Amino acid sequence: MCGIVAYIGRRQASDILLEGLKRLEYRGYDSAGVAMMNGKLHVARAVGRVANVEKAIHDRGGFKGTLGIAHTRWATHGGVTERNAHPHRDDPKLGHGIAIIHNGIIENYASIKKYLAEKGHTFEGETDTEVLAHLIGELYQGDLEKAVQAALREVTGAYAIAVICEKEPDVLVVARKGSPLMVGVGNGEYVVASDASAIVSHTTQAIALADYTVARITREGFRTTTVDNIELTAEIRELEFDLEQIELGHYDHFMLKEIFEQPAALRLTLKGRVDSGKGQIILGGVGEHARRLATAKRVVFVGQGTALHACMIGKYLFEDLAKVHSEHDFASEFRYRNPIVEDGAVVIAVSQSGETADTLAALQEAKQRGALALGVVNVVGSSIARETDAGVYLRVGPEIGVASTKAFTGQVMVNAMLATFMGRRRYLSQEHVSMLLRELEAIPAKIERALEWSGRIRTATAKYIHRENWLFLGRGVNYPVALEGALKLKEISYIHAEGMPAAEMKHGPIALIDNGMPVVFVATRNSQYEKVLSNIEEVRSRGGHVIAVATEGDEDIKRLAQDVFYVPECIEMFQPLLTVIPLQLLAYHAAVLRGKDVDKPRNLAKSVTVE
Ligand code: G6P
């Protein structure tokens, strides 16, 4: 969701803030703004990308000062207008000169707004954040930290905020509950941001603020308290983050970089965790709970978006390899449908960011009902990771492209390891596990082969680029891959695409097929291959153009499909790790061919921290 960056130190803040905003822009990018303290408060805001606010600052001769806050927005409350862009100020009539940036949602903003309006406050926009700015101003009595604490005692909802005030020109106050916030600790300077990517170019020492923490920061030091002013201790940790991971390098887009990073990323996912020779899996994060996993009666995967597709594959993997009753659900549905969580239930939350509000809430709901809560998460120390009883990190590195790619294969890889881990404790023989692990270890090199098809996939995609409706079909464990292929295409190229089980097509969607409609089949060699071929015939006979993802060496399929993208052979259960690759490339090339902004598709946000 929104990105936050704040700076206090001895250097000019404006460059640091704008650089930080550009790194955080993937979190939200419909408007942006900067507030700088330089004797007085200077605020610039603009609709659109960070570049627009940069230009606004430039047009005003630049902003001087060594204390400032900045924000890039993904609208929740109030439309995308300059008035609704952050930073927001308190009521100018009070003369405090307070400015605030905020990520999250103040749920009780309406009642606070009413109370403040009765006291004579007038508001310029519709956002909940402006209400919080006014509340802090209303409660301000010469101490910004106290005013922020007092205001936060009144609000419900989620927030990561940074606040500055003209009356205290050397103080930065930040706080968090439910939305991530980190304080980078440099030499006489601090960079606060909603994620490490805006911090690492300045310092690798940082504090991940815990929920309900308020930090008062000056150039000389900082203190952390609760909203009730009880002092806390904060632990400074080394950020395990390499700047190269968040730079484009020679790639045109982060999405393409991340697609090509998958072999290396998955090698790290596996590293030190699997030993095919010994038929052993070592998952330090779940070791303690191995017994509960082994005796689990049911596994429920919850997630949203791409992570949900990894959940669906998890269900197939767990049923097949661990022989445990498994299901998946949208986290948003699970949490509200009064779910049955019986003894022996395990809930696995799958999430790249570890911050998706619905996934976090579903996990909390399941935990409260007695389930063992596991996390399959990428971002270390994220809210979901902290909430779980145990978990396995993806280790695929930061994912910047809004369309998730390497996190998806990381999630599937971890689900495959977990299923094998559980299977071994239930009924799989050591030889069987050795075979499965050899297959997993071979995946990265096989993905490298699948990636070699990128150029040919681009050429094929160009033939269909003017078609507005696409179908993606698969069966069994490749059905969620069809869903993921359709999602990738629609989210970055805005082409309408639907994914479904290949057999389901006959029950309605077949009516859509007209002459030349592109229909993408996952048609690799596996137990359902023959059935998929029949479905391909059904499409062909109605004039659809078939694009098939097939197993290397399958020449027969060329008779049925106009275009074939090959992936190496692999056991059925692990095929999604390979079959998704051509679909990621197809979506990427389609978006580029259509001239779309691949890494920042319209209306989307990388991480959705609101319900
Ligand atoms: C957003 C993103 C998707 C992502 C989903 C779940 O919708 O645009 O790419 O799959 O959130 O995010 P998570 O961080 O929980 O995996």
Ligand 1 in reach of 402 Cβ (< 6 A) = yes
**DSSP of 365-378:** HHHHTT-EEEEEES
| pLDDT at site 567 | 98
Q: Which of 2, 165, 311, 570 is catalytic?
A: 2
The residue contributing the CA closest to ligand 1 atom 2 is 606
Cβ neighbour number for residue 346 with a 10 Å cutoff: 26
Ligand 1 in reach of 604 Cβ (< 6 A) = yes
With 90 as the cut, is the pLDDT of residue 78 above it?
no
In whole angstroms, how large is the CA radius of gyration of the chain? 25
Please report where in the chains the tokens 């280790």 appear, as a residue: 395
pLDDT in tens, 458-488: 999 999 999 999 999 999 999 999 999 999 9
Query: In angstroms, what is the span from residue 113 Cα to ligand 1's centroid?
Result: 32
pLDDT in tens, 137-174: 999 999 999 999 999 999 999 899 999 999 999 999 99
Query: In angstroms, what is the span from residue 608 Cα to ligand 1's centroid?
Result: 7
| CA–CA dist 258, 405 (Å, integer) | 7
Instruction: Find all residues with CB under 8 Å of 264, minimum gap 6, and list them.
Output: 444
Closest to 300 (Cα-Cα) out of 289, 292, 311: 311
pLDDT in tens, 348-357: 999 999 999 9
Average pLDDT, the chain: 94
| pLDDT at site 26 | 81
Instruction: Find all residues with CB under 8 Å of 111, minimum gap 6, and list them.
Output: none
Percent of the residues in the chain that have a pLDDT greater than 70, as a whole number = 100
| pLDDT at site 15 | 94
The residue contributing the CA closest to ligand 1 atom 11 is 607
| CA–CA dist 111, 211 (Å, integer) | 24
Q: Per-residue confidence at 417, pLDDT binned at 50, 70, 90?
A: very high
Distances (CA, A) of 22 to 54, 201, 513: 10, 13, 43
Q: Per-residue confidence at 511, pLDDT binned at 50, 70, 90?
A: confident
CB 565 within 8 A of CB 549: yes
CB 99 within 8 A of CB 142: no
Q: Which two tokens mark 370? A: 């007695």
Closest atom of ligand 1 to CA, residue 356 = 15
| pLDDT at site 143 | 97
Query: In angstroms, what is the span from residue 408 Cα to ligand 1's centroid?
Result: 10
Distances (CA, A) of 64 to 15, 35, 447, 481: 10, 11, 49, 51
The reported pTM is: 0.89
Ligand 1 in reach of 361 Cβ (< 6 A) = no
Ligand 1 in reach of 404 Cβ (< 6 A) = yes
Ligand 1 in reach of 352 Cβ (< 6 A) = yes
Please report where in the chains the tokens 């090959």 appear, as a residue: 566
| pLDDT at site 290 | 87
Our answer to whether residue 165 is catalytic in this structure is: no
Q: What is the mean pLDDT of residues 269-277?
A: 96
Ligand 1 in reach of 356 Cβ (< 6 A) = yes
Closest atom of ligand 1 to CA, residue 306 = 10
Distances (CA, A) of 232 to 7, 45, 179, 514, 609: 22, 35, 19, 65, 26
pLDDT in tens, 218-230: 999 999 999 999 9
Q: For a substitution probing ligand 1, which of 26, 399, 404, 600 has the most ligand atoms within 8 Å of its CB?
A: 404
| pLDDT at site 2 | 86
Distances (CA, A) of 26 to 3, 52, 131, 175, 582: 8, 15, 26, 22, 24
Length of the chain measured in residues: 611
With 90 as the cut, is the pLDDT of residue 603 above it?
no
Ligand 1 in reach of 401 Cβ (< 6 A) = no
| pLDDT at site 506 | 85
Q: What is the mean pLDDT of residues 11-31?
A: 91
CB 546 within 8 A of CB 519: yes
With 90 as the cut, is the pLDDT of residue 605 above it?
no
Our answer to whether residue 570 is catalytic in this structure is: no
Q: Which two tokens mark 152? A: 């936060």
Q: Per-residue confidence at 76, pLDDT binned at 50, 70, 90?
A: confident
Q: Per-residue confidence at 414, pLDDT binned at 50, 70, 90?
A: very high
| pLDDT at site 590 | 98
CB 177 within 8 A of CB 183: no
With 80 as the cut, is the pLDDT of residue 77 above it?
no
Q: For a substitution probing ligand 1, which of 301, 606, 611 has the most ligand atoms within 8 Å of its CB?
A: 606
Q: Per-residue confidence at 62, pLDDT binned at 50, 70, 90?
A: very high
Ligand 1 in reach of 304 Cβ (< 6 A) = yes
Q: What is the mean pLDDT of residues 396-400?
A: 93
| CA–CA dist 414, 457 (Å, integer) | 28
Distance of CA 236 to the CA centre of its chain: 25
Query: In angstroms, what is the span from residue 179 Cα to ligand 1's centroid?
Result: 15
Instruction: Find all residues with CB under 8 Å of 314, minimum gap 6, and list them.
Output: 299, 301, 326, 328, 348, 350, 376, 411, 412, 415, 418, 419
Closest atom of ligand 1 to CA, residue 305 = 10
Q: What is the mean pLDDT of residues 342-349?
A: 94
Q: What is the mean pLDDT of residues 511-522?
A: 92
Instruction: Find all residues with CB under 8 Å of 230, minimum gap 6, and list them.
Output: none
Q: For a substitution probing ligand 1, which of 351, 491, 608 has the most ligand atoms within 8 Å of its CB?
A: 608
pLDDT in tens, 203-258: 999 999 999 999 999 999 999 999 999 999 999 999 887 778 888 899 999 999 99
| CA–CA dist 132, 163 (Å, integer) | 11
Q: Per-residue confidence at 25, pLDDT binned at 50, 70, 90?
A: confident
| pLDDT at site 513 | 87
Query: In angstroms, what is the span from residue 309 Cα to ligand 1's centroid?
Result: 11
| pLDDT at site 247 | 87
Q: Which two tokens mark 491? A: 């989210």
Query: In angstroms, what is the span from residue 304 Cα to ligand 1's centroid?
Result: 6
Q: What is the mean pLDDT of residues 19-29?
A: 87
| pLDDT at site 604 | 82
Query: In angstroms, what is the span from residue 452 Cα to ligand 1's centroid?
Result: 27
Lowest mean pLDDT across 89-93, 300-304, 601-605: 601-605
Cis peptide before 180 (omega within 30 of 0): no
Q: Please, where are the H alpha helices in 225-326?
A: 254-260, 262-270, 290-294, 305-317
| CA–CA dist 478, 573 (Å, integer) | 9
